[in-house]
Structure 1
Amino acid sequence: MHHRIRPLRLTAVTLTAGALSAGLLVAPSASADPSPALTSAKAAVAGTDSTPSTIAAEWIAGELSNGLMVSSSGPDFGLTIDTGMALSTVASQGGTVTAINNSLEPRIAEYVGDGTKESYAGALAKSATFARTAKKNPTSYGGINLITRLEERTANVPADPAAEPQAAAIAGRIFDKSEFGNYANVVGQSYAVRALTLAGSAEAGAARDFLLKQQCASGAFRLNFDKADVPSQSCTEGVAGSTADPDATALAVINLVESGDKSAAVVGALAKAGTWLAARQRNSGAIRSAGDGAQINTNSTAIGGYALGLLKNRDAALKAALWVRKNQPVDKYKCRTALTKDTGAVAFRRDRVTGATTTGIPAAARDEWRRATSQAILGLQFAPASKDKLRIVSVRKQARAGERVQFQVYGLAPSESACMQVKGDFLRVKGKKTGDKIVRKLQLPTGNQRRVGLIKTSDDEARTSLRVRN
């Protein structure tokens, strides 16, 4: 599941559809080039298909309202940042990243707190990370020095650790300052490590060391910290509060890789985490979440697959991307459904697709689709490309009306959705994991004339023809 940095005190979760304001695109576009880590990882994987991440990005960009994700209660800044971070990996979305930044920056205090009574560590870390991604300065973002604020929320290393063992135990740990309580967790800590490291902060090392304490012996990271007065602040395998969490693990990996920290401790931690994530992955490519309501879903699978891709585990990243792509319905042309207008959106689980094909995405479920899609964009970066040019071949030159005739389809990418059709008949098909040809039969209509067989994907089509006789 998607982990929020803090409870929703100022935001809500039920979102309504909106349109991206064209006026926000006047400013020069932020770069949406993949990070060096992603560029390197994709080069190692090789042969990826940009289509699924591109159409997912196009869909979620259309869900923004004046550059923000908005609910009936106001903007959801956390989801807005998740969306902007995901879109920054899609080259065509630089303008949307700029639009998000232009709307988010003037209102960032609403998300991170006023800096006196309210100051939210995870939100500060995530905001600083996005600011840098959007090519902005996190030390002066919306008039706020996010790095200084984050350093204030990061526990200091005591001058004499031996004399202050508890202060030494929590050194580098992030804390919220809030009348609502302290909800800082390992996900926020991982963003803090990334933000502080890239800013060259003197507190980056302590924050990193505290994050690494949250890695369990298995290689997984837990989600929540111990209480601040517990002498040992480290994950203890098998003890309550140290449950392995695949989402926290994936985000720790992503943020550590993107921090650029090449220390031996980080390199070792990444190797262990990658091994654990790969072992957690099922043969289907899916990854199951943890905690209450644990289930297989596209969120955990996508960010887990993205983390594995950044670690250059080619096979695991491809498998995860294939499973996520299966949950991206593309029902076009004769195969049109109520979901066609939302082409590109990714479902949290397959059962959500089944219902939405007849009703469309329910208003109350739109938030879930947005969250699933924002993270799916990342995992889909490693979707494998097709082996061949898209084409369809009829095995016969002519046939009688009403006969079911075999057609062969080449060039579908693994798990890619397509519609096969001839006048009067159609089939939904998906590319094989192997990328090999697909063979299906379609029933020919009446009439003595040449008929066209088509295969249509979200961005391409091919055709063949044969003569039909009554």
Structure 2
Amino acid sequence: MHHRIRPIRTAAVALSTVALGAGVLAAPPATADASSALRSAKAGIKTDSTPSNVAADWITDELTNGLMVGQNGPDLGLTLDTGLALVSVPDRDAGVAAINTAFKPRLNEYVGDGTKESYAGALGKAAAFARGAGENPIDYGGVNLVARLEERTADVPADPTKEPQAAAFAGRIFDKSESGNFANVVGQSYAVRELSLARSAEAAAARDFLLKQQCASGYFRLNFDKANVPSQSCVEGAPGSEADTDATALAMINLIESNDTSAPVKAALDKASAWLVDKQRNSGALRSSGDGAQINTNTTALGGYALGLMRQSDAAQKAALWVRKNQPVDKYKCRTALTSDTGVVAFRKDRIKGASTTGIPADARDEWRRATAQAILGLQFAPASKDRFRIEAVRKQARAGERVQFRVYGLAPSESACMQVKGDFFRVKGKKTGNKIVRKLQLPTGNQRRVGLVKTSDDEARTTILVRN
């Protein structure tokens, strides 16, 4: 699953002195629209907005007064994941604004108070959300998130030859906390994104340190070396330099969103993109990394989104198709205990079976929320239907009890739907080819015209057939 930026700390690390706010020139105006990178990446391909829209509807309804609240109270990290996902979906200003209004007064709970506690990755992620919500990260609720982030970014020493260790971790982020340091590559990528967009003098060093976390074959690792290790670079095959799919995808996404078009960044993105494509299965799925590694929608959606932003549209659409298969839609006669949660995305397919009978268990709701927040991004590249949505009966009339063919056209690839006549139904999914779907439905008794229909998550089509006893 997605490696969250945690505000809980357990180990201390020293940090070189940084000037408060040094190098911040200005933060360009922010908007609550999808990024220009996403808009341009989608411009050349035909995508279906339905799966990301219905997922956004569901996750917005999960908010409680603008916050994602779990069994242990408000989860501010998941709240920001939700906000960043909603920013990618058109016309979600109300949901983003609700999160912004609720999160801003609780900012220091997430990023630290700026004195004893200050969490670098959380600062970067909060700044990314603030910008996405149309706010200025330099003055977000009276807090200069960029200046605080600069405080947590190691300086380049005046004479690197005299301070080789300080030079080795120049640009690296560190947490300041009485309970330790948990800064990692995911947090570093958010820091690079926001320092770059704020045109900070520390952006280049932060970027260079992030690029050192990429191994030779193209992936990014998750964790840094200890601060006293001389190289501070990913070394393929060495302990601590294992590949991490989620960290790679997030590093790519944040580098793209940083608007840094330098040659080293372009080269790093190309290598990471090639590595992700190589790791993608024929089904479109991607496997997570580390303990408990498994194929899941979080990793697949993040990887697919990163590849989409890199204009790897075939790979991005394959990933989106796989994620969409895990978005159950049970309507009309196909109704299940998940019908009231239409739009939700399961972390894995096996979660759907049980929840279809019992509903989403209270202690599992957190997992479904996390899966859906990330899925919204990957679903941005779901391919659209090639045909007009409709259902047709192959015959104009038939006898009661006969099984008659009905044809459904215009389902998008992997789109779930329910087709039925009175008394009989089928669950169907759109084919990858986009071709028609043919099923036989048994006609009910009664001398009258009967309706054959097909229902998707947000649409329906109808036809009629005359039934004779």
Same fold (TM over 0.5): yes
1:34 aligns with 2:34: yes
1:413 aligns with 2:412: yes
Within 2, Cα distance between the matches of 1:276 and 1:324? Answer: 20
What pairs up with 1:285-300 in 2 under 5 angstroms? Answer: 285-300=284-299
Within 1, Cα distance between the matches of 2:412 and 2:276? Answer: 25
For the aligned residue pairs, the C-alpha RMSD in angstroms reads 1.1
Within 1, Cα distance between the matches of 2:371 and 2:32? Answer: 20
Within 1, Cα distance between the matches of 2:401 and 2:8? Answer: 59
CA contact (8 A) 1:118 1:179 kept: yes
What pairs up with 1:112-261 in 2 under 5 angstroms? Answer: 112-261=111-260
CA contact (8 A) 1:158 1:168 kept: yes
- What is the CA deviation profile of residues 350-388 of structure 1, one whole-angstrom value per residue up to 9, with x for unaligned ones? 011110001000000000000000000000000011111
CA contact (8 A) 1:169 1:232 kept: yes
- AA matched with 2:116: K
Within 2, Cα distance between the matches of 1:386 and 1:239? Answer: 46
CA contact (8 A) 1:246 1:304 kept: yes
- AA matched with 2:275: W
CA contact (8 A) 1:420 1:454 kept: yes
Within 1, Cα distance between the matches of 2:7 and 2:238? Answer: 25
Worse overlay, 72-81 or 175-184? 72-81
Within 1, Cα distance between the matches of 2:48 and 2:411? Answer: 11
1:78 aligns with 2:77: yes
- What is the CA deviation profile of residues 303-335 of structure 1, one whole-angstrom value per residue up to 9, with x for unaligned ones? 100000000001000000000000001111111
Tell me the secondary structure at the aligned position of residue 92 of structure 1: coil
Within 2, Cα distance between the matches of 1:345 and 1:150? Answer: 34
- What is the CA deviation profile of residues 118-158 of structure 1, one whole-angstrom value per residue up to 9, with x for unaligned ones? 11011011111111111111111122111111111101000
What pairs up with 1:414-429 in 2 under 5 angstroms? Answer: 414-429=413-428
Give the equivalent residue in structure 2 for 1:108: 107
Within 2, Cα distance between the matches of 1:102 and 1:447? Answer: 57
Report the Cα offset of residue 72 of structure 1: 3.6
Worse overlay, 413-422 or 389-398? 389-398
1:5 aligns with 2:5: yes
Give the equivalent residue in structure 2 for 1:336: 335
Give the equivalent residue in structure 2 for 1:21: none
Within 2, Cα distance between the matches of 1:8 and 1:69? Answer: 18
Report the Cα offset of residue 106 of structure 1: 1.3
Report the Cα offset of residue 179 of structure 1: 1.6
Give the equivalent residue in structure 2 for 1:94: 93
CA contact (8 A) 2:395 2:465 kept: yes
CA contact (8 A) 2:32 2:134 kept: no
CA contact (8 A) 2:31 2:135 kept: no
Report the Cα offset of residue 181 of structure 1: 1.2
Report the Cα offset of residue 7 of structure 1: 5.2
Worse overlay, 425-434 or 69-78? 69-78
CA contact (8 A) 1:452 1:466 kept: yes
1:31–1:7: structure 2 CA closer, same or farther, 3 Å change rule? closer
Tell me the secondary structure at the aligned position of residue 371 of structure 2: helix
Report the Cα offset of residue 57 of structure 1: 0.3
Give the equivalent residue in structure 2 for 1:27: none
> Identity rate of aligned residues, in percent?
77
Report the Cα offset of residue 71 of structure 1: 2.4
Within 1, Cα distance between the matches of 2:453 and 2:198? Answer: 54
Within 2, Cα distance between the matches of 1:430 and 1:48? Answer: 17
- What is the CA deviation profile of residues 11-46 of structure 1, one whole-angstrom value per residue up to 9, with x for unaligned ones? xxxxxxxxxxxxxxxxxxx954211000000013x1
- AA matched with 2:134: K
Within 2, Cα distance between the matches of 1:87 and 1:393? Answer: 36
Give the equivalent residue in structure 2 for 1:319: 318
Within 2, Cα distance between the matches of 1:307 and 1:8? Answer: 28
Give the equivalent residue in structure 2 for 1:43: 43
CA contact (8 A) 1:32 1:91 kept: no
Give the equivalent residue in structure 2 for 1:396: 395
- AA matched with 2:59: I
TM-score, structure 1 as length reference: 0.94
- AA matched with 1:150: L
Within 2, Cα distance between the matches of 1:59 and 1:240? Answer: 41
Structure 2 stretches of 5 or more lacking a match? 10-29
What pairs up with 1:52-63 in 2 under 5 angstroms? Answer: 52-63=51-62
Structure 1 stretches of 5 or more lacking a match? 10-29
